Amino acid sequence: MKRRAFFNRIGSILALLGLTEAEWLTLGNRYYQALAAPTSRKLALLVGINEYSQIPALSGCLTDVELQTELLTHRFGFTNSDILTLTDEQASREFIEAAILDHLGKQAKAEDLVLFHFSGYGTRVKTGNSEETVENALVPIDKDTYNGIVVNYLLEATLLKLLRSLRTNQVTAVLDTSYQLRKTPQPSGLRFRSRPESQTAKLTVKELEFLNTIQTQNPPINNLTVLQATATPEQPAGEMLFSGFSAGLFTYALTQYLWETTPSRTIQVLFSHVSSSVYKLGGEQQPGLLTDQKNPQTALISQIFPLESNIAQAVVRSQDEESKTAQIWLGGLPPHVCQYYGVGSKLTTLSGEQLIVKSRTGLTAKTQIINQNPNQPLQTGQLLQEIVRVLPRNINLIVALGGGLERIERVDATSAFAAITRKVNIAASEQGADYVFGKLQDTPSRYSIFSVGGEPILNTAGEVGEAVKVAIQRLTPKFSTLLAAKLWRLTENEGSSRLPVRVSLEMVSKISSRIVMQRQTRVDSNGGTTANKTISTSLTSVPTVPIGSRMQYRVENLGDRPIYLMLVGLNNNRSAVAFYPWQIPSEEETTNNKPYLQEVLVAPGQTLKFPENDNNFGWLLSTRAFFAEHQLIISTSPFTQTLAALRSVKYPTADQQPISPLVNDLEVAQSLLQDLHNASKVKVDTNVSTNDSYILDVNNWASLNFSFQVV
């Protein structure tokens, strides 16, 4: 968006900023105003800074701005002229404050909607002589930001005060930053958006004077809602390297879910999905919410974000009628799926035109338009929904080598990983990772597996003095488990599945049952669905259930075809589990009462509860706290190969839980994908080989993620 008209209107706020016209002009022609019409109903100010001059550069903040711009334009109905972006050298403290006052403050009226977004560094800064007068601040692009004496930061208090003074009660801020830096080393593949607090630097007098001015002249008017990348001050917000691009974990997870959600879902459901997505990507941060509203967890998403269009996984960016090709944006696909979204995948417009993916770079793909209606040519901005997902069969676990490894240790690790290349690849410098192999900080001679966020995986640390090659051999079964989970996570398609189902995770007792969380696919051709539910004791965390609880899933088949079920998952020590649907024949049925695994079938319009809970058999949670992540996979065809894989290595015992450890996890994961591939029966594109790819049809499968904490 062009912003040159900004200087024609900025004079009215120069005095408030403490700047002369000459001082203002010396800042450079980098800040421009949005050309918003007087009747504008939706205004946005998006700030992203990568290229800091005196501190290490970030790499995902401009992507965050792009993610938000695409979402606001195509899903929320913002016009381009009402979205003002300040990136890199444009994003000085004065420019940001001026933009809030002019672009937002002068134009926003009652009932208008305002969104502010910031991606960049945050820090803590002294605002007085006392050691206790330290406040949160955003780090702008200013050249004197980190000279060690006086810093030109934007106080979080100033920002929130400005936003609360806007003349509308629909103001939302998204802050993908954090303020405290961990003392532990920065993990591989993840960069924290926190700067260490300076012991000597003080805030510029101009910022303190500006804050004092707005505190007296700008009384709070609205109930501002702030979505934060972290729920607690000690959590660092991270950005991650993906396939061809970097992005903030929080912004990517948030915007992706908003592409696929519906207005009837609640803020609690939103936070549950975002938390789960960040966890699956390897981040340890959990999002937070700051608001004056009562019971914010029950508020609808539509009260903050105006979801005007249908759900989508992609949008058309440009098209060439002559070659019948189009460039599309894939921001609505789950992040872990987008990285492996293969050639041959298909998407469709609401009017029925289909596009087939020919190549992909990062978040954009080149597609071929097929069966186009000559009377309705494809248009830029048209939304696209997934109909066929193509995934490569040759997917490995990507492991980064920890920064604390010595050169000889890295050589030994590279040699050891070469022996298991069918399972694990070492991350290249420009490649994101799934996990990190490194040393424990407190005992450097012990090797372990870490999340990308730097947390050690439980029960993976070896003995003191263990050799690198021995450690990798010891951890090979765990790498297989992690790869298995990576594969079944790639089936997730709650937003795109056209198999109408609703699944509830319930805590049951002799008296009643309580829904802990609920997931549902869309139930009509236009992408509509009813509200998903998540009941939790805390808005900022995944749902919680007490230890020792008796649990069950309730599956409702809302369609006209029978469906089959399979459940796999991980606990917080990354141990695999699965649901074993054992059936023990009675003596009347057969003389051989050897147990066997049966298909779990739900007839059209029927409801099934599993595992069955009675006095002798059921799903009883352990008496210790743990984190659980389950993938419930549903198909229109039996899980023939998966059941065979489960049956091959395990038989039930008298005290076995129905959801119990999975031994041959990688074999089961590969069998799951093959069963879904067989169920889809998609007509194969000439450029796609079934020997190299799994081809999945959204009409034939649904895969829902349930993540919860046992406390």
Note the pLDDT of residue 374: 76
Of the listed ranges 58-67, 237-246, 432-441, 522-531, the one predicted with least confidence:
522-531
Q: Write the pLDDT tens digit of every residue in 101-120.
A: 999 999 999 889 999 999 99
For 426, the 3-state DSSP assignment is strand
What pLDDT band is residue 347 in, cutting at 50, 70 and 90? very high
What pLDDT band is residue 53 in, cutting at 50, 70 and 90? confident
Across 273-340, where does the E strand assignment appear?
A: 288-291, 314-320, 325-329
Mean pLDDT of 309-317: 92
Note the pLDDT of residue 360: 95
φ, ψ for residue 291, nearest 5 deg: -160, 155
φ, ψ for residue 682, nearest 5 deg: -80, 140
* Top-tier CATH class for 314-392: mainly beta
Mean pLDDT of 302-320: 87
One-letter amino acid for residue 506 of the chain: E
What pLDDT band is residue 531 in, cutting at 50, 70 and 90? very low
Q: Which helix (H) or strand (E) holds 701?
A: strand 701-710
Note the pLDDT of residue 39: 43
Note the pLDDT of residue 592: 55
Are the C-beta atoms of residues 471 and 490 closer than 8 Å to each other? no
Q: Write the pLDDT tens digit of every residue in 67-98.
A: 999 999 999 999 999 999 999 999 999 999 99
Mean pLDDT of 569-593: 74
| Residue 343 in tokens | 């050639």
Note the pLDDT of residue 536: 42
Asked whether residue 395 carries a pLDDT value surpassing 70, the answer given is yes
Average pLDDT, the chain: 84
Note the pLDDT of residue 10: 39
Note the pLDDT of residue 653: 60
Note the pLDDT of residue 690: 83
Mean pLDDT of 312-327: 92
Asked whether residue 16 carries a pLDDT value surpassing 50, the answer given is no
Of the listed ranges 71-80, 182-191, 324-333, the one predicted with least confidence:
182-191
Q: Write the pLDDT tens digit of every residue in 430-474.
A: 778 999 999 998 787 799 999 998 889 989 999 999 999 999 999
Note the pLDDT of residue 586: 57
Mean pLDDT of 9-37: 34
Asked whether residue 20 carries a pLDDT value surpassing 50, the answer given is no
Burial level of 35, CB count in 10 A (0-12/13-18/19+)?
middle
What pLDDT band is residue 149 in, cutting at 50, 70 and 90? confident
Mean pLDDT of 638-660: 81
Of all residues in the chain, the percent with pLDDT exceeding 90 is 54
Asked whether residue 662 carries a pLDDT value surpassing 50, the answer given is yes
Mean pLDDT of 144-161: 80
What pLDDT band is residue 383 in, cutting at 50, 70 and 90? very high
Asked whether residue 133 carries a pLDDT value surpassing 60, the answer given is yes
Q: Which of 661, 635, 253 is nearest to 484 (CA)?
A: 661
Of residues 21 and 121, more confidently modeled: 121
Highest averaged pLDDT of the listed ranges 134-138, 141-145, 190-194, 344-348 = 344-348
Q: Write the pLDDT tens digit of every residue in 465-516.
A: 999 999 999 999 999 999 999 999 999 999 999 999 999 999 988 777 889 9
Q: Write the pLDDT tens digit of every residue in 541-570.
A: 578 889 888 899 999 999 999 999 999 999
Across 535-655, where does the E strand assignment appear?
A: 544-545, 550-557, 563-571, 576-579, 582-583, 596-597, 600-602, 607-610, 619-620, 626-635
Are the C-beta atoms of residues 655 and 522 closer than 8 Å to each other? no
Asked whether residue 147 carries a pLDDT value surpassing 80, the answer given is no
What does DSSP assign to residue 684? P
CA dihedral 7→9→14→15, nearest 10 degrees, is: 160
Alpha-helical segments (H) within 57-104: 61-74, 93-99
Asked whether residue 525 carries a pLDDT value surpassing 50, the answer given is no
Asked whether residue 537 carries a pLDDT value surpassing 60, the answer given is no
Are the C-beta atoms of residues 508 and 269 closer than 8 Å to each other? no
The strand pair at 346-348 and 354-361 is best described as antiparallel
Are the C-beta atoms of residues 571 and 577 closer than 8 Å to each other? yes
Of the listed ranges 225-234, 241-250, 654-663, 692-701, the one predicted with least confidence:
654-663
Of residues 691 and 187, more confidently modeled: 691
What pLDDT band is residue 652 in, cutting at 50, 70 and 90? low
Q: Which sequence spans correspond to the domains of the chain?
A: 6-303, 314-392, 397-489, 501-710
Q: Write the pLDDT tens digit of every residue in 358-377.
A: 999 999 999 999 887 777 88
DSSP string, 1-60: ---TTHHHHGGGGHHHHT--HHHHHHT-TT-------TT--EEEEEEE----SSSPPPSS
Note the pLDDT of residue 658: 83
Q: Which helix (H) or strand (E) holds 140?
A: none
Alpha-helical segments (H) within 616-659: 640-647
Q: Which of 148, 119, 141 is nearest to 47 (CA)?
A: 119
Mean pLDDT of 12-40: 34
Distance CA 578, CA 488 (A): 12
6-303 has which CATH code? 3.40.50.1460
The strand pair at 550-557 and 619-620 is best described as antiparallel
Of residues 573 and 554, more confidently modeled: 554
Of the listed ranges 235-239, 265-269, 547-551, 587-591, the one predicted with least confidence:
587-591
What pLDDT band is residue 673 in, cutting at 50, 70 and 90? very high
Note the pLDDT of residue 522: 76
Mean pLDDT of 154-172: 92
Helices 61-74 and 249-260 cross at an angle (nearest 10°) of 20
pTM: 0.88
Of residues 89 and 54, more confidently modeled: 89
Note the pLDDT of residue 116: 98
Note the pLDDT of residue 367: 97
Asked whether residue 3 carries a pLDDT value surpassing 90, the answer given is no
